[in-house]
Amino acid sequence: MKNLTIVADSNIASLDEFFNPVALGQNTEQQVQVIRVAGRDINAQLLADVQPDVLLIRSVTSINESLLSDNNSVKFVGSATIGTDHVDQKYLAERNITFANAAGCSKHSVAQYVVTAILTLRPQYGAKSMTPLTVGIIGLGNIGSTLAQYASDLGWKILGYDPLLTTSDINNASLEQVLSQSDIVSLHLPLTDKKDTDTQGAVSISNNVSDYPTRHLINAETLALMSPHTMLINSARGPVIDAAALEADIDATERQVVLDVFEHEPQISESLLSKLAIATPHIAGYTLEGKLRGTQIIYDALCEKLAVLPVLSMQQLLPLNTYLWSELKENPDILPKFYDIKKDDAALRSKIKSGKVKGPDFDQLRRDYHLRREWQTSMVNVTV
């Protein structure tokens, strides 16, 4: 086999450890060259110049025809993220390019971010004597169901809505019920659009379309179903919420809203930011464990593509972690001290210049983020 050239987003954790000749099972004559580039700078010209075999990305690189139409070298694309809305998977399949993402990699990190945000803004919910609050979860996949597990451990009631899964003890309500009957509503959805129907009535399948589209699922109409008391948390994708409608809603209701993702990310207006109870720069999944698990999953997928056995496990790279959920859940009031989410909020607000947080400042906060640790549960493992 020839040498392997990899273009990789420099924000992928532990690139050196996972993507070298030994870890990729290459023999001594074969070289592995890893070219690190900021995710937003991976473009068609770079791919034409470098002719890589492999592209490793995170969520800020759009993978589509305009990036790849003049390129014949790429055979594998790995995204070390859960979300795939930035990847035209249909186009990759047509080009016979293998694609892998890191499903579930940061499900604990994001669920822990949500629990921390709730207990930071409403510490009273940590008290055992409280009447149980109701957490509404929209989207009950890896993250939503993990959040449900934490909520249940804390004695909270769950109302969940996921039309693509069968009903269950957590998938137990309609969208309207979740929105109108919950104390907290947390969104855990992919970003999808509605299917277009062409003039012949046939459905044209483009990328990321769904019978239950999520773009602007939260809009003026759905916000109106929520009591002003209900806190809204979005750590999924920004465009799931119509930002203009959200601003109008907060003006009218003074709702507590927590955003980790923004409709016009990486730019955020000061006007929106000033209305939010907590705002963070898309770091809900940024724990050491979450990021390493993302790398591990695409490393395993690349090994499969190369028909070699993976030899590296992220456990070999993780420092000891003694934070145990079994202990923390008995003292939920210490969770906001475990992760100081207000510090992340303050760092984002400190970047406001001329009425906005600019894209490069948003990206810099993420690039330089000091990765948190997950608290450990018996559910934790690499294969999620």
Binding positions for ligand DEZ, rule: CB under 6 A: 11, 58-60, 81-83, 106, 282, 285
- Tell me the residue nearest to ligand NAD as measured from the CB: 141
Cβ at position 15, least distance to ligand DEZ in Å = 13
Concatenated DSSP letters of 214-233:
-TT-BSHHHHTTS-TT-EEE
Closer by beta carbon to ligand NAD, 52 or else 285: 285
Binding positions for ligand NAD, rule: CB under 6 A: 82-83, 104, 106-107, 110, 138-144, 161-165, 188-192, 210, 212, 214, 217, 235-237, 260-261, 282, 284-285
**Active site residue ranges:** 237, 265, 282
Angle, alpha carbons 225-231-235 (nearest 5°) = 105
Cβ at position 258, least distance to ligand DEZ in Å = 15
Q: How far apart are CA 328 and CA 128, in angstroms?
A: 14
Closer by beta carbon to ligand NAD, 34 or else 82: 82
Q: How far apart are CA 136 and CA 170, in angstroms?
A: 10
Cβ at position 106, least distance to ligand DEZ in Å = 6
Residue 81 tokens read as 């993220």
- Binding-site partner at residue 143 among ligand DEZ, ligand NAD, none, CB < 5 to 8 Å by type: ligand NAD
Cβ at position 99, least distance to ligand NAD in Å = 15
Cβ at position 216, least distance to ligand DEZ in Å = 19
Closer by beta carbon to ligand NAD, 47 or else 284: 284
Closer by beta carbon to ligand NAD, 311 or else 379: 379
Task: Give the residue among 340, 142, 138, 330 at the shortest CA–CA distance from 240.
Answer: 138
Cβ count within 10 A of residue 355? 9
Angle, alpha carbons 45-48-54 (nearest 5°) = 110
**8-state DSSP, 319:** P
Cβ at position 142, least distance to ligand DEZ in Å = 10
Task: Give the residue among 278, 262, 263 at the shortest CA–CA distance from 118.
Answer: 278
**Contact between residue 14 and residue 316 where contact means Cβ atoms under 8 Å apart:** no
- Binding-site partner at residue 336 among ligand NAD, ligand DEZ, none, CB < 5 to 8 Å by type: none
DSSP-H helix ranges across 171-219: 175-181
- Binding-site partner at residue 279 among ligand DEZ, ligand NAD, none, CB < 5 to 8 Å by type: none
Contacts with 281 (C-beta within 8 Å, 6 or more apart), sequence order? 260, 344, 347, 348, 357, 362, 365, 366, 369
Q: Which residues participate in the annotated binding site for substrate?
A: 59, 81, 286
Q: Which residues participate in the annotated binding site?
A: 59, 81, 162, 260, 285-286
Q: Is the dihedral of CA 20, 26, 32, 37 positive or negative?
A: negative
- Binding-site partner at residue 60 among ligand DEZ, ligand NAD, none, CB < 5 to 8 Å by type: ligand DEZ
- Binding-site partner at residue 379 among ligand DEZ, ligand NAD, none, CB < 5 to 8 Å by type: none
Q: Which residues participate in the annotated binding site for NAD(+)?
A: 162, 260, 285
- Angle at which helix 107-121 crosses helix 142-153, to 10 degrees, equals 50
Maximum Cα interatomic distance, the chain, rounded to a whole number of Å: 67
Closer by beta carbon to ligand NAD, 210 or else 321: 210
Cβ at position 124, least distance to ligand DEZ in Å = 30
Closer by beta carbon to ligand DEZ, 46 or else 308: 46
Where residue 81 falls (left for φ over 0; alpha for ψ -120 to 50; beta otherwise) is: beta
- Binding-site partner at residue 299 among ligand NAD, ligand DEZ, none, CB < 5 to 8 Å by type: none
Residue 243 tokens read as 């930002």
- Tell me the residue nearest to ligand DEZ as measured from the CB: 58
Q: What is the dihedral of CA 208, 212, 217, 220, to 10 degrees?
A: 140
**Contact between residue 357 and residue 350 where contact means Cβ atoms under 8 Å apart:** no
Closer by beta carbon to ligand NAD, 23 or else 278: 278
The beta strands (E) that lie in 45-202 are given as: 54-57, 76-79, 98-101, 134-138, 157-161, 184-187, 193-194, 196-197
- Cα first-last separation, the chain: 32
- Binding-site partner at residue 11 among ligand DEZ, ligand NAD, none, CB < 5 to 8 Å by type: ligand DEZ
